Chains A and B, each alone.
Chain A
Amino acid sequence: MADPRPALDTPPAPPSGWEEYALSVLVIVVVTAASLILPDSYYLSVGLIYLLAIILLCLRVGRGPVLLAGVLGAFAWEYIFIPPHFSFAINSLQDGLLFGTYFVVSLVVGQLTAQIRAQAQNDRLREQRATALLHLTRALAEAKTLDDAVRAAVRQTDELFSAQTSLALADENRAALIPHFANSYSLEGKERATAEWVFRHQSNAGRFTDTPQASAGCYLPLVRDNKTIGVLGVKVPPDLTLTLAQQNLLEAFARQLALSVEREHLRAASEREKLLAESEKLHRALFDSVSHELRTPLAIINASADSLAGADQNLRGQLVNELRTAVRRLNRLVGNLLNQSRLESGTLKPRLDWCDAGDIANAAVESTRDALAGHPLAIAVPEDMPPVRADFTLTEYVLANLLLNAANHTPAATPVFLTAGLEPGGQRMFFTVADRGPGFSPAMRGRLFKKFIQDDGTRTAGLGLGLSIVRGFIVAQGGEVVAGENPGGGAMITVYLPHPPLKAAAQA
């Protein structure tokens, strides 16, 4: 990238202002005035004092003012102090040598000063550039998504070049450019045309480039593996220009950004693949367990129906019971699948109404009576429990699922506890279902509420949808589900529901 008005790679030190010249003159005047009080015979020392003043000046002012001070000092010294006074004549060779040396030293000092300052300036620019790149790299590395990265990059370029930045990325087929939403100016009209040109030709265009276009911005292609994957545009205000160093920096930015975009593309691709594999696995698990869960009761129904034909009265009763159990199991399974899809489709809208907590508990117990057979059930609902705000059917379903879980995962004849109450403070009400079974393994705890998860090693009834639905239904009602230990052993699951004051709820 070449500027039509080429700039030095090492920019000159900034020109000295009139203040620096004034300071130089002032210093020489002060030194001259001060030296007047010294005896005449000290004129050699006065020369050294001038030199000292000039060297000190070097620390503050640029080359021009130093040279001015040197010349002024030389003339002042020669005219006032070197005998004969108040004349430019020099009497002795020694004085002449001294004067000459002084003059050369002050010139050299001025020149050196300028070089050192330019060097410092250069170092500062280089450091700025390195810092800018470092910031950008870090911002890009920290960005979690491509959008974050682009935002960071746009912010950095905006700051650094006091310009506006725009980024457009190629679509998946690299057929079209799609401007990014985080841009600080929109790519339209001439700007868009130039960006498209850059995209097609994989070369810089616009302001500060060899290919000036009608656009106000300058555009750089983002290139990886010889493919253009996007275009970076920078619009510098018309009264400002970019130095060659800044242009280099911009190119470095573009390279860095291209790297980041490519990395993001790769990450997205691998993410997609992982997701695909995951869903494949889930599909497999669902398929396996659904077919097992559906086929088992169907097999029971089939076998029972076959045997019914020739069965005596006693056997017939047993078979009918088997049929009923199989049907209930199928019915629950279908209910779970339907409810899960209701949850996933987002169409679930709880109908909150005032309910009797005891009523809900009873309904849940009633619908799971067959599965709970053999487990002593202890229901505890306080006598003075006020009506609670809940969706009756959803909450009943939640409790039924929890009771079924307790029954299915605990040894026969162990008790199951169903408790309801208000939290201290009365902000929330809760239902607790607890058992005396093996409880949850620590590894299980975190995954409990995920779909298709079953406690490892135990093949029991159900798809592993139960707790996922429990949580879905409770969260939909603004509540919370907590899994824990039953004091004294066993699992305990508590569902919390908001318990609004009567008036507030009635208005809602």
Chain B
Amino acid sequence: MTASHPSRLLIVDDEMQIRRLLRVALEAENYEVHEATTGQLGLSEAAGVHPDGVVLDLGLPDLDGREVLRRLREWSQVPVLVLTVRDGEEDKIAALDAGADDYLTKPFSRRELLARLRAVLRRTQPSSEETIVRFSDVEIDFAARIVRRAGAEVKLTAKEYDLLRYLAQHRGRVVTHQQILRELWGANAEDSTHYLRVYMTHLRQKLEPNPRAPKFLQTESGVGYRLVES
């Protein structure tokens, strides 16, 4: 995707060293990098350069990162990857609720950064009506509502299929428990995480090589799930 036209990225972080390292890592992948040091500057820069994606640090000197997100979301749907220093899941969930697409906890590796960025950028890229998603030896055919593993069809219940489809549509990105529950069970089901656990266990047993140590249907501690492609 970066081959045809370079994606324009905006980094909003007050730490010079982080910005520099991010620039090195991202420019090596042919991204076009813009920088801002404060929330205010970040917002005006976002309006000015119209980036394809934003990397936003939550701990900014002037505005709370979530406030920046809220103001940005008033007029823009640009994909946002949030950087946080906190382990606590409350911050991550709050950022996701405020409109972030995904998060990375500092310290993070280059590999993680690039994988997350690719996944969040894909949200706005014109996908040619993808009807088939593959990971590992699993193939999901959205049009036919069929899941195959190593070529053989896997029987899934309706809920299991819906859960898998939702994760596959957001593959590479985190989806919170609440998002899944709202999507699959409706607005009143947000306390039913118990069922979600059970369906996820079933899905893993049917699709994972080792269901006890899942490689693809991953758990995000205290936040939700993430379908990892490789």
Residues on the A chain within 8 Å of B213, using CB = 362, 365
Residues on the B chain within 8 Å of A327, using CB = 107
Contact mask for chain B residues 198-230; partner A; CB cutoff 8 A; 1 contact, 0 none = 101100000000001110000101100000000
Residues on the B chain within 8 Å of A118, using CB = none
Residues on the B chain within 8 Å of A335, using CB = 87
Instruction: Tell me if A355 counts as interface (CB < 8 A to partner B).
Output: yes
A353 to B200, CA, bound (A): 15
* Complex contact B200–A356 (CB within 8 A): yes
Instruction: Tell me if B89 counts as interface (CB < 8 A to partner A).
Output: yes
* Complex contact B194–A393 (CB within 8 A): no
* Complex contact B89–A379 (CB within 8 A): no
Residues on the A chain within 8 Å of B200, using CB = 356
Nearest CB of chain A from residue B206's CB, rounded to whole Å: 14
Instruction: Tell me if B6 counts as interface (CB < 8 A to partner A).
Output: no
Task: Identify which of residues 1-38 in chain B touch chain A, using a CB-to-CB cut-off of 8 Å.
Answer: none
Instruction: Tell me if B90 counts as interface (CB < 8 A to partner A).
Output: yes
* Complex contact A392–B221 (CB within 8 A): yes
* Complex contact A393–B222 (CB within 8 A): yes
* Complex contact B89–A393 (CB within 8 A): yes
Residues on the A chain within 8 Å of B201, using CB = 356
* Complex contact A351–B177 (CB within 8 A): no
* Complex contact B107–A379 (CB within 8 A): no
- The total of chain B residues at the interface (CB under 8 A) is 20
Q: In the complex, what residue of chain A is closest to B109 when comparing beta carbons?
A: A324
* Complex contact A356–B87 (CB within 8 A): no
Residues on the A chain within 8 Å of B40, using CB = none
Q: In the complex, what residue of chain B is closest to A392 when comparing beta carbons?
A: B222
Instruction: Tell me if A354 counts as interface (CB < 8 A to partner B).
Output: yes
* Complex contact B221–A353 (CB within 8 A): no
Q: In the complex, what residue of chain A is closest to B219 when comparing beta carbons?
A: A359
* Complex contact B222–A379 (CB within 8 A): no
Residues on the A chain within 8 Å of B219, using CB = 356, 359, 362-363, 392
Task: Identify which of residues 302-325 in chain A touch chain B, using a CB-to-CB cut-off of 8 Å.
Answer: none
Among A338, A354, A396, A397, contact of B193 (Cβ-Cβ < 8 Å): A354
Q: In the complex, what residue of chain A is closest to B197 when comparing beta carbons?
A: A387
Q: Knowing A354-B197, A363-B219, A363-B221 touch, does A393 contact B88 (C-beta < 8 A)?
A: yes
Residues on the A chain within 8 Å of B194, using CB = 354, 387, 502, 506
Residues on the A chain within 8 Å of B88, using CB = 393
Residues on the A chain within 8 Å of B196, using CB = 354
Residues on the B chain within 8 Å of A354, using CB = 193-194, 196-197
Q: In the complex, what residue of chain A is closest to B205 when comparing beta carbons?
A: A383
Among B87, B89, B212, B222, contact of A381 (Cβ-Cβ < 8 Å): B212
Among B107, B191, B197, B212, contact of A331 (Cβ-Cβ < 8 Å): B107
A52 to B221, CA, bound (A): 102
Residues on the A chain within 8 Å of B197, using CB = 354-356, 387
Among B87, B107, B214, B222, contact of A351 (Cβ-Cβ < 8 Å): B222
Instruction: Tell me if A358 counts as interface (CB < 8 A to partner B).
Output: yes
Instruction: Tell me if A391 counts as interface (CB < 8 A to partner B).
Output: yes
Q: In the complex, what residue of chain A is closest to B198 when comparing beta carbons?
A: A387
Q: Knowing A331-B107, A387-B198 touch, does A351 contact B193 (C-beta < 8 A)?
A: no
Q: In the complex, what residue of chain A is closest to B93 when comparing beta carbons?
A: A351
Q: Knowing A392-B221, A396-B221 touch, does A358 contact B198 (C-beta < 8 A)?
A: no
Q: Categorize the interface residue count of chain A.
A: 20 to 34
Contact mask for chain A residues 422-434; partner B; CB cutoff 8 A; 1 contact, 0 none = 0000000000000
Q: In the complex, what residue of chain A is closest to B88 when comparing beta carbons?
A: A393
* Complex contact B212–A379 (CB within 8 A): yes
* Complex contact B198–A391 (CB within 8 A): no
Q: Knowing A331-B107, A358-B212, A362-B219 touch, does A393 contact B193 (C-beta < 8 A)?
A: no
Nearest CB of chain B from residue A275's CB, rounded to whole Å: 32
Nearest CB of chain A from residue B155's CB, rounded to whole Å: 19
Residues on the B chain within 8 Å of A356, using CB = 197, 200-201, 219
Contact mask for chain B residues 166-203; partner A; CB cutoff 8 A; 1 contact, 0 none = 00000000000100000000000001011011101100
Residues on the B chain within 8 Å of A355, using CB = 197
Q: In the complex, what residue of chain B is closest to A327 when comparing beta carbons?
A: B107
Q: In the complex, what residue of chain A is closest to B200 when comparing beta carbons?
A: A356
Contact mask for chain B residues 126-139; partner A; CB cutoff 8 A; 1 contact, 0 none = 00000000000000
Q: Knowing A327-B107, A356-B200, A379-B212 touch, does A506 contact B89 (C-beta < 8 A)?
A: no
Q: Knowing A351-B89, A392-B89 touch, does A362 contact B214 (C-beta < 8 A)?
A: yes
Task: Identify which of residues 391-406 in chain A touch chain B, using a CB-to-CB cut-off of 8 Å.
Answer: 391-393, 396-397
A354 to B222, CA, bound (A): 10
* Complex contact A353–B89 (CB within 8 A): no
Nearest CB of chain A from residue B111's CB, rounded to whole Å: 12
Residues on the B chain within 8 Å of A331, using CB = 107
A397 to B201, CA, bound (A): 22
Residues on the A chain within 8 Å of B212, using CB = 358, 362, 379, 381
Residues on the B chain within 8 Å of A362, using CB = 212-214, 219
Task: Identify which of residues 96-153 in chain B touch chain A, using a CB-to-CB cut-off of 8 Å.
Answer: 107
Residues on the B chain within 8 Å of A392, using CB = 89, 219, 221-222
A355 to B196, CA, bound (A): 9
A362 to B225, CA, bound (A): 14
Task: Identify which of residues 373-388 in chain A touch chain B, using a CB-to-CB cut-off of 8 Å.
Answer: 379, 381, 387
Residues on the A chain within 8 Å of B177, using CB = 353
Q: In the complex, what residue of chain B is closest to A342 when comparing beta carbons?
A: B88
A365 to B212, CA, bound (A): 12
A331 to B86, CA, bound (A): 11
Residues on the A chain within 8 Å of B191, using CB = 506
Can you spell out 15 A-B residue pairs with CB atoms less than 8 angstroms apart?
Answer: A331-B107, A338-B87, A351-B90, A351-B222, A353-B222, A354-B194, A356-B200, A356-B219, A362-B214, A381-B212, A387-B198, A391-B222, A393-B221, A393-B222, A506-B191
Given contact pairs A331-B107, A362-B219, A393-B88, enumerate 14 new A-B contacts (beta carbons under 8 Å).
A338-B87, A351-B89, A353-B222, A356-B200, A358-B212, A362-B213, A363-B219, A363-B221, A365-B213, A381-B212, A392-B219, A393-B89, A396-B221, A506-B194
Q: Which 8 A-B pairs have the closest CB atoms?
A: A393-B222, A392-B222, A387-B197, A354-B194, A359-B219, A354-B193, A393-B221, A356-B197
